[in-house]
Structure 1
């Protein structure tokens, strides 16, 4: 009799443990399908989140951009989710909190959500850009095609019209130059205000101050040679200039990020009364669809 009771108790313990385990792993799938992202380097990771009421539920991190991806969360959390967010998290980040660098988001309508950059960055439909070639930081008159600044000299007004970025992001200017091993994208500096100089002047001369607008003189030949094998002041005519939106902190200071709202080809040389114009490039922004399965 005692043996039978012990067997019954053991069976009951296994049964209830099994039931309890089923409850704890009652999970549902969330499928994420995004186009237009680039792989992150330097240890940085994308992190997917569900927005449930005012809470965030992490679905997991990833670096590769092979989609679709399927994540799992507790069924109750999936059912209650009102939205989806994708963030960029710094490398070796031990924090369980979301960073300020949110790149994609969207609300669920039924079991599906379209996710894009609109909630984070707003609309770029009225964005515009124009710039001139000049090298005001040195006293050399023969290299004016080697510098670029985003402003309009005739009016003294900024050449960029861009939405104000939220915390966790900065704009950055770039020019594609001919390096020793082919084309290379070289930064003109990061900025958050189009009415002020950017954070970078490493390739400029220190003889004179530059305009109080984003831009750069590419006249520091020693550094250009060291980094890119460029041994003479580059002529920017015919080259490409563009603006990116960069996560802050930046996971890779040497490469432009995938978000490139404005781009243009340099066709007007220094001294021209016509500024170089840029085109809106938001069709390249990442976009995706998230479904509760």
Structure 2
């Protein structure tokens, strides 16, 4: 008899731990996130979880800490019916109750777990590749040629597209960077690898002669950020392509960096250089209910 009572009490304790009732009598259940690779966002943005129930998104709560696991109380009936989990980046003060375009992780539930990844919701970078040259076309020929980076291919003798990147989902843009003496300096955001980047007409760094070739890139010739001196020499610097939220939550590079390459000390200008895989090509995690 005592053993039966202990068993019954234990079963009740497990049930109470996993499900609880709020003051209005609504039953809730625990949703636990265990996510890898997320970085803290800028002060004006938060992460928000969503479950897809009968085709519609239902918020599971917002968070800013990237220490996991984290758990959230969710309506038990809705959580049981959920087919998919999605994580988005949202304004901290958000007048729109719907998810933003900037969705970073997603995955379908199989039983009580969902393997979530950025590959299916941002883009799959498994086949991404890139080429670049060192040159400074905006201050004339043979001037400071090691102080600029352009994502184009000169192997044919004429400029051609240098980046092979997948089309990003809405809410994301690519951004080029040169990490100079440990300081990441943007070369501009873009979505089209065969056109000027977004800051081609407004960048403070380029020279005064023209806007450069119609490809993403930058000449680091003037108005250097604090701690740096322009013109510079990019040999030994690291060239990076990152994937940034749009609108962007921070002036620093975002965690997704599908392509990167340290410029060889022996590199010459106007010669095509191959990029390699970046340090973070996708994010992933596990969601349990």
1:231–1:59 CA distance, 2 compared to 1 (3 A): same
Q: Is 1:111 the counterpart of 2:109 in the alignment?
A: no
1:232–1:206 CA distance, 2 compared to 1 (3 A): closer
Which blocks of at least 5 consecutive residues in structure 2 are unaligned?
Answer: 1-20
**Partners of 2:56 and 2:230 in 1: CA distance:** 55
**2:210 aligned to which of 203, 208, 211:** 208
**Partners of 2:230 and 2:99 in 1: CA distance:** 45
SS of the equivalent of 1:92 reads coil
**2:275 aligned to which of 273, 278, 281:** 278
Contact 1:203 1:219 (C-alpha < 8 Å) held by counterparts = yes
The structure having more radius of gyration, on CA atoms, is 1
Contact 1:137 1:206 (C-alpha < 8 Å) held by counterparts = yes
**Partners of 1:232 and 1:214 in 2: CA distance:** 19
Write 1 or 2 for the structure with the bigger share of helix. Answer: 1
Which blocks of at least 5 consecutive residues in structure 1 are unaligned?
Answer: 1-19
Listed as ranges, the matches of 1:46-65 within 5 Å are 46-65=47-66
1:213–1:272 CA distance, 2 compared to 1 (3 A): closer
**Partners of 2:149 and 2:180 in 1: CA distance:** 12
Instruction: Show structure 1 runs of 4+ deviating over 6 A.
Output: 20-23
Contact 1:90 1:249 (C-alpha < 8 Å) held by counterparts = no
Listed as ranges, the matches of 1:1-293 within 5 Å are 24-139=25-140, 141-153=142-154, 154-178=157-181, 183-200=182-199, 201-220=203-222, 223-224=223-224, 227-252=225-250, 254-267=251-264, 269-271=267-269, 273=271, 275-281=272-278, 283=280, 285-292=282-289
SS of the equivalent of 2:120 reads helix
1:50–1:162 CA distance, 2 compared to 1 (3 A): same
Which segment drifts farther, 46-55 or 86-95? 86-95
**Partners of 1:57 and 1:210 in 2: CA distance:** 47
Aligned residues: 263
**Partners of 2:23 and 2:227 in 1: CA distance:** 62
1:96–1:152 CA distance, 2 compared to 1 (3 A): same
1:232–1:189 CA distance, 2 compared to 1 (3 A): closer
Residue deviations 1:196-237 (CA, integer Å, cap 9, x gap) = 0101232101212301000000001xx20xx32323411000
User: What's the offset of the Cα at 1:141?
Assistant: 2.2
1:202–1:78 CA distance, 2 compared to 1 (3 A): same
Contact 1:261 1:282 (C-alpha < 8 Å) held by counterparts = yes
User: What's the offset of the Cα at 1:121?
Assistant: 2.7
User: What's the offset of the Cα at 1:22?
Assistant: 7.0
SS of the equivalent of 2:139 reads coil
User: What's the offset of the Cα at 1:92?
Assistant: 2.0
**Partners of 1:42 and 1:31 in 2: CA distance:** 24
